[in-house]
Amino acid sequence: MDRKGFTLIEIIAVLAVLAVLAGLAAPLVYKQILKARQEATEQELDVLKTAMLGDSDLKTGGVRTDYGYLGDMGILPGQGEDSPSAEDLNKLLTQGDQPSYSFSPNYGIGAGWQGPYLQRGSANDEVTLDAFGSAYEYDVRNPTGLASDDWIAKVTSLGPDKTSDTTDDISVEIKKKESFATVFGYVNTTEGRQASNLYVTLHYPSGGTLTNTTTSTNSQGYYEFNNIPFGVRSITLDPKLQFAAGSAKTTGGGDDLEFNVTNYSAYEVTITAVTVEYSISPDAYYSEMKLAGRQVFSASGPRPRKGSGETVNVSPPVAVTGSGVPFQPIVVHVNAASNRISNIDISKLEAGATIKVEINDFRDRRRGGRPVDVTGVQFTVTFQLSDGTSSVVTFTPIAGQASGGGTTPSCDSYTVVNKKNSSVWIRGGGYPICTKIKKNKSFTIQSGETISIYDNLNRCARNIDPSDITFDMAAAADSDGDCTVGWTNSGLGDL
């Protein structure tokens, strides 16, 4: 008799087999689901990081064009808030009350939100949740005091177990070195000299609004800004009064001093006070100061002479006409932890008026006394200006033609030969910064110049422990008058 269908026992047996197979397959399927969710979460974290920092591979003409949220806003989402959280990640997608992007023609850059920085559908539309359905943990810190490899921001998924601080957590970090930079460079003045005590301003966004920070160059023309957010930024200068190279000289037997300063600002500056600093033995005091031919101080009657560090108040103030041409902002791309800006040469700027400064009759006492020759003495002169800022110039005068017969240098320049057993590196004198001078090779120093010498390139690049030589030091070392001296382990010497 033919059988029709399956018996109950056969059906139960088949179901049992299917149950066993399903039981075996379920863990594999579950693992695949977890793996897919983990990969989706990792991808989403990478997308969030790119939204915050931009895509470094997006370039036009070889120049990076995308700096993400940080580039436009100058901060990371929630940075500066008391309790940043995953909700701050929504700022990448929705503008809310964040400032709109605005370009400033005065500074050549812009600031403000111009998102969305995430594409809807490229990851979870709900950017605060991972692929497991849990809220991200998000923290962001201030860069001040952090090391280059420290994280600034961190986004963390709780992972499959949805529990914080366990081994299956998934996170992405934004390190300080990929988001905030040290920006530095040098400013040169005429004939390649370093422009010291010059105000440099860097413009950048903070919270979507343009702000700035200002510093001044040191004696080597070096400036530095720290914790600047990556992006397109700009630099402006306000040179004001700068020393006119080669103008410092002594006359009258060396007890009278004169030099020139030029106003490189677009606007008129007004001198309200002058402070002269120098070091000489015996002590020296001056009897007179003139600015642009006008006497602003005279030690006459009960008024004694002025000494180093003492201030001459200028009343009425002396005005120095500006160039009338505003400084054009220098747009820079901040895209590395250490960003060196190309040298800025203010000698290429339009110059305003130049005035002569005369400081006369140096003597060894405040009253009476004998004349003091200040040739070869380094001077630092600070001009206080009516806007509350100051201009500082540093120079070493050479002997000029004295009114009563004096002397002039025997050489227009000196050749300095490196007689050490290894190379040295130099700054100043119109040479490119950290020019290498090999053993038995030479460099030239001109009147009024100071050149800094370093034993290795690293010290030169960081301007550490220089040995400074001046034209007058070379002249003093040149005992045979052949205009050639040597740089040795003990300093300058004749050859």
Tens of pLDDT, residues 344-362 = 988 778 889 999 999 999 9
Asked whether residue 4 is assigned to any structural domain, the reply reads no
Q: Domain span at residue 228? A: 182-238
User: Is the same domain home to 279 and 354?
Assistant: yes
Does one domain contain both 203 and 265? no
Task: Say whether both 57 and 114 belong to one domain.
Answer: yes
pLDDT band (50, 70, 90) for residue 440: confident
158, part of any domain: yes
Shared domain check, 464 and 445: yes
Identify whether residues 311 and 379 lie together within a single domain: yes
Check whether residue 160 and residue 198 sit in a common domain.
Answer: no
CATH number of the domain that 161 lies in?
3.30.700
- Indicate if the pLDDT at residue 34 is higher than 90: no
- What CATH number should be reported for the domain holding residue 358? 2.60.40
Q: Is residue 366 pLDDT above 80, yes or no? A: yes
Q: Tell me if 299 is assigned to some domain.
A: yes
Q: Which two tokens stand for residue 115?
A: 């998102």
Task: Evaluate whether 371 touches 363 at the Cβ level (below 8 Å).
Answer: yes
DSSP code, position 296: E
User: How much is the pLDDT for 387?
Assistant: 93
Q: Within this chain, do residues 59 and 202 fall inside the same structural domain, yes or no?
A: no
pLDDT tens for residues 195-228?
888 889 999 999 999 999 999 998 888 999 999 9
In angstroms, the CA 192 to CA 448 distance is 13
pLDDT of residue 422: 92
In a domain, 6, yes or no: no
Please report which helix (H) or strand (E) contains residue 283, including its range. none
317 and 446 inside one domain? no
List strands edge to edge, sheet with 330-334. Answer: 209-216, 199-206, 231-238, 330-334
Of the two residues 30 and 279, the one the predictor is more confident about is 279
In a domain, 478, yes or no: yes
Pairwise pLDDT comparison (37 vs 203), residue with the higher score: 203
**pLDDT, tens digit, 9 for 90 and up, residues 222-249:** 999 999 999 999 999 988 998 887 789 9
Structural domain includes residue 54: yes
pLDDT over threshold 70, residue 121: no
List Cα–Cα distances, 32 to 25, 35, 39, 163, 206, in angstroms.
Answer: 11, 5, 10, 20, 44
Q: What percent of the chain has pLDDT over 70?
A: 91
Among 201, 223, 238, residue at a domain's last position? 238
pLDDT at 432: 81
Q: Is 337 among the domain residues?
A: no
User: Are 257 and 388 members of one domain?
Assistant: yes
- Are residues 298 and 362 located together in one domain of the fold? yes
- The total number of structural domains in the chain stands at 4
- Average pLDDT score, the chain: 88
DSSP letters for 471-495: HHHHHHH-TTSSSEEEEETTEEEE-
CA distance 38 to 343: 48
Tell me how far apart the alpha carbons of residues 104 and 203 are, in angstroms, rounded to a whole number: 10
Is residue 204, in this structure, part of any structural domain at all?
Answer: yes
How far, in Å, CA of 302 to CA of 143, rounded? Answer: 58
Residues 296 and 426 in one domain: no
Lowest-pLDDT range of 71-75, 143-147, 306-310, 415-419: 415-419
The verdict on 384 and 247 lying in the same domain is yes
Tens of pLDDT, residues 128-145: 899 898 999 999 999 999
